Amino acid sequence: MKSATIILPTYNERENVGIIIPQIFEQEEKTPGWEFSIVVVDDTSPDKTAEKVVELQKKYKKLYITSGQKAGLGKAYVRGFKYVLTNLKSDIVFEMDADLSHDPASIPLLLQKIDGGADIVIGTRYIKGGSIPKNWEFYRKVFSYCGNLVVRLGFMHLAVHDWTNGYRAIKTDFLKEIIPHLDEYNGYVFQIALLDRAVKLHKKIEEVPVHFQERNSGVSKINSGRYIFDIVRYIFQHSSFIKFGIVGLIGAVLDFGTSFFLIEKAGFAIWMATVISAEIAIISNFFFNNFWSFSHKKVENTRSSFLKSLIQFNTISVGNILIQAILLQGATVFFPREYWYIYKVIIIALVIIPYSYFLYNKVVWKKK
Ligand code: GDD
Ligand code: MN
């Protein structure tokens, strides 16, 4: 028998726990081979949610509660994870809102994917078959959808469609690996930090569609402004793609600066100045990418593997230059030559950036 523990973070959810806890245990019958426990992580809710849970414990033997002080959703989940790891034997841990926004009827679907070999399964609102409430105000729909799009594009990881929804099944083994790294994310951004870890550690991530219902009763504790700020900050600090863009900009400044100096001040031939400055930019890009953008998979610190990667990087970069030269020259055959800088920007955005980012990931900084 395998066991799954559903973690329910609660802050003033007295009404809702009385409904959701029985609903979760009902799902046990529909998942042969699995037994359930529930851990309520309550932050001493003023509405006495804990009292209600203690009352329910008389009926449900595998219902547990850990009480603490309010320190945000991330802290609550980490406390719940630690509780499971020290007190219960569990193969899987579920994240789930206690306000009935997440329908317990989807639990068997998530478990099916775990049985199929996934390390982490996400209940996703933004794939076919999933949804957000129809009656949400327009701004809320836009906020939720765009928030996720920003994260997907920010990480350039389009395969995950819902980074923020807190309905997930996670293998306990993976949790053990990452718990030490989750401590600093107190609020809702912890959801993104956890998934980002899963992606970087090459865990098998699957999605199942879920309908997100408007909460049953009580109020949301989310602070949208704070959440947006935390998300943007997290992406800037952790996205290889954004860092790769910044490194590219630094490279461009070095390239132009060196060329300017060599051509205007030192009297070098243009071709010679171009070769030198392009190579300086390439080497700078390589080092910054290795120790910053792709630092989680940096090349081994031996001279030979370093040299090999630098040569690979150079080859790809020379490929960039050729592609750019050919496409730009080609563009001026069909369009007015005087607007060359517009074509250059378009080519860099649509061809060079995706091409080089893809190849750096597949060749120079590939999975370990
Ligand atoms: N213990 C504890 N401590 N629980 C908390 C805290 C806290 O500081 N903050 C929120 N919770 C609990 C709530 O009681 C609820 O059960 C669950 O966490 C979700 O909180 P809501 O306040 O209902 O958040 P939401 O509905 O606005 O946000 C949900 O949707 C977001 C995406 O749209 C959550 O699933 C988020 O994770 C998700 O990002
Ligand atoms: Mn909610």
Q: Which pLDDT tens digit goes with each residue over 149-208? A: 999 999 999 999 999 999 999 999 999 999 999 988 989 999 999 999 999 999 999 999
- Provide the 3-class DSSP secondary structure of residue 269: coil
Sequence-ordered list of residues with C-beta below 8 angstroms from that of 269, at least 6 positions apart, any chain = none
**How many Å lie between the centroid of ligand 1 and the Cα of residue 103?**
15
Task: Tell whether the model's pLDDT for residue 367 goes beyond 80.
Answer: no
Ligand approaching nearest to the C-alpha of 13: 1
User: 169 C-alpha vs ligand 2 centroid, how far in Å?
Assistant: 18
CA-nearest of 107, 108, 101, 245 to 164 is 101
Residue from 150, 170, 221 whose mutation best tests the ligand 1 pocket (most atoms within 8 A of CB): 221
Place of tokens 């997290």: 234
Question: What are the pocket residues of ligand 1 if the criterion is a CB atom closer than 6 Å to any ligand atom?
Answer: 9-11, 13, 41-43, 70, 72-73, 76, 97-99, 101, 144, 164-166, 188, 191, 215, 220-222
Q: How far is the CA of 239 from the centre of ligand 1 (A)?
A: 25
| Reported pTM | 0.87
Question: In this structure, which residue's CA is closest to atom 19 in ligand 1?
Answer: 97
CA distance 137 to 347: 39
User: Rounded CA gap, 239 and 234, in Å?
Assistant: 8
- For residue 271, what pLDDT is reported? 84
| Distance in angstroms (rounded) separating the CA atoms of residues 164 and 132 | 13
How would residue 368 be classed by pLDDT, with cut points 50, 70 and 90? low
Cα–Cα nearest to 328, from 347, 311, 313: 347
- pLDDT over 90 (residue 274): no
Tokens standing for residue 317: 């970069």
